[in-house]
């Protein structure tokens, strides 16, 4: 669990809510956690505790339009009225610099899940020189025909409805499609995990499972296309260690294929240290999966951090 929380001011105008956990014993580094779409950073307390036991200070913040982060232009379900993707980057930078100021001299690793993985890739493309390692779990940074059609359809929907209403097109193409992909299923959120308790907790959480606005989905797609582009990937430092993970039971990543494809594109873009872990059978939220999937994945992450972070 987290042992502290605070609010920091971002140059974007947001009051960013940050959860923290101090390392147990002599600190080995800092891990920043970026959460996924339609959830919040408070759900990462268990991972924070495990990382702290391994010697890492941990910081996890609520992105704009999520959780307890507050901004005048970022109500729940929206990053911002305009320029939301850029403002998300500014907020992430504020959290990073605050963490380093609190614990100077330590190497920094970045962990992102799903949308958080997309954000993490974009952040590393800008600030990779300040990072010692990057972990991207359960994220799809594909930029093919399907994604381009979705982006075009979203523009049409925005023209007809405006930007601050839920995107019905993207809801059907994402959450609803992924929910229907699981058979048999108990709920429409079974695509998240085999653990029924974790699924029920997600459904019961008022800060989870909401339908993002059209503007938020525009911003997410913008980050996907920038982060997954050849030009974007080429901006990563070639020696930055990258850890990719996905599950073969996850319809949101093409049953793990998105991670495999991203690994290939990273290597073509001159990233020399790319690790890919495909968890057989695991669904989307590896961190909230049953222990037979989760334990091995988390142990692998901690071992990888120990090998890649200096000191």
Give 52-78 pLDDT, tens digit per residue.
Answer: 999 999 999 999 999 999 999 999 999
Q: What is the pLDDT of residues 14-34, one digit of tens each?
A: 999 999 999 999 999 999 999
In the predicted model, is pLDDT for residue 168 greater than 90?
no
At 160 the pLDDT is 74
At 169 the pLDDT is 81
At 161 the pLDDT is 81
Q: 173 with 147: CB under 8 angstroms?
A: no
Q: State how beta strands 15-21 and 29-34 pair.
A: unpaired
In terms of Cα–Cα distance, which of 90, 33, 127 is closest to 219?
90
Average pLDDT over residues 241-261: 98
At 170 the pLDDT is 81
Q: Which of 59-63, 151-155, 222-226 has the highest mean pLDDT?
A: 59-63
Token reading at 135? 């972990």
At 145 the pLDDT is 67
At 190 the pLDDT is 98
Q: Which of 77-81, 173-177, 195-199 has the highest mean pLDDT?
A: 195-199
Average pLDDT over residues 258-275: 93
Count how many domains the chain has: 1
At 238 the pLDDT is 92
CA distance 29 to 302: 12
At 148 the pLDDT is 78
At 155 the pLDDT is 82
Domain of residue 74, CATH code = 3.40.50.1820
User: Is the overall model pTM greater than 0.75, yes or no?
Assistant: yes
- Residue 83, by phi and psi: left (phi above 0), alpha (psi -120 to 50) or beta? left
Q: 308 with 241: CB under 8 angstroms?
A: yes
CA distance 163 to 146: 21
Alpha helices (H) in 3-114, listed in sequence order = 45-53, 84-102
Average pLDDT over residues 199-211: 97
Band (140; pLDDT cuts 50, 70, 90):
very high
- Owning domain of residue 99: 4-308
At 73 the pLDDT is 93
In the predicted model, is pLDDT for residue 224 greater than 70?
yes
Average pLDDT over residues 223-231: 94
At 13 the pLDDT is 97
CB-based contacts of 261, cutoff 8 Å, min separation 6:
142
Task: Report the sign of the C-alpha dihedral through residues 67, 292, 136, 249, in that order.
Answer: negative
Instruction: Indicate the average pLDDT of the chain.
Output: 95
Name the burial class of residue 141, with classes exposed (0-12), middle (13-18) and buried (19+) by CB atoms within 10 angstroms of its CB. Answer: buried
In the predicted model, is pLDDT for residue 311 greater than 70?
no
């Amino acid at each position: 669990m987290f042992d502290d929380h605070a609010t920091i001011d971002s140059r974007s105008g947001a009051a960013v809510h940050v959860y923290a956990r101090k390392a147990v014993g002599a600190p080995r580094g800092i891990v920043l956690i970026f959460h996924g779409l339609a959830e919040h950073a408070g759900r990462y307390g268990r991972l924070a505790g495990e990382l702290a036991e391994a010697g890492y200070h941990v910081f996890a913040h609520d992105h704009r339009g999520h959780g307890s982060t507050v901004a005048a232009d970022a109500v729940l379900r929206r990053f911002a009225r305009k320029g939301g993707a850029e403002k998300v980057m500014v907020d992430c930078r504020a959290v990073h610099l605050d963490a380093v100021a609190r614990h100077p001299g330590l190497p920094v690793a970045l962990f992102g899940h799903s949308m958080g993985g997309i954000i993490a890739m974009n952040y590393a493309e800008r600030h990779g020189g300040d990072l010692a390692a990057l972990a991207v779990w359960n994220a799809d940074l594909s930029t093919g025909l399907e994604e381009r059609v979705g982006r075009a359809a979203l523009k049409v929907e925005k023209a007809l409805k405006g930007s601050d209403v839920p995107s019905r097109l993207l809801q059907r193409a994402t959450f609803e499609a992924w929910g229907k992909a699981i058979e048999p299923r108990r709920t429409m959120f079974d695509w998240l995990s085999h653990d029924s308790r974790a699924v029920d907790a997600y459904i019961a959480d008022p800060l989870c499972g909401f339908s993002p606005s059209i503007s938020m989905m525009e911003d997410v797609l913008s980050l996907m296309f920038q982060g997954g582009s050849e030009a974007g990937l080429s901006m990563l430092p070639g020696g930055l260690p990258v850890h990719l993970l996905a599950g073969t039971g996850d319809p949101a990543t093409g049953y793990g294929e998105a991670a495999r494809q991203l690994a290939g594109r990273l290597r073509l873009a001159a990233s020399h240290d790319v690790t890919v872990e495909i968890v057989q059978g695991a669904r989307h939220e590896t961190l909230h999966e049953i222990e037979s999937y989760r334990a091995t994945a988390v142990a692998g992450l901690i071992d990888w951090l120990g090998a890649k972070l200096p000191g």
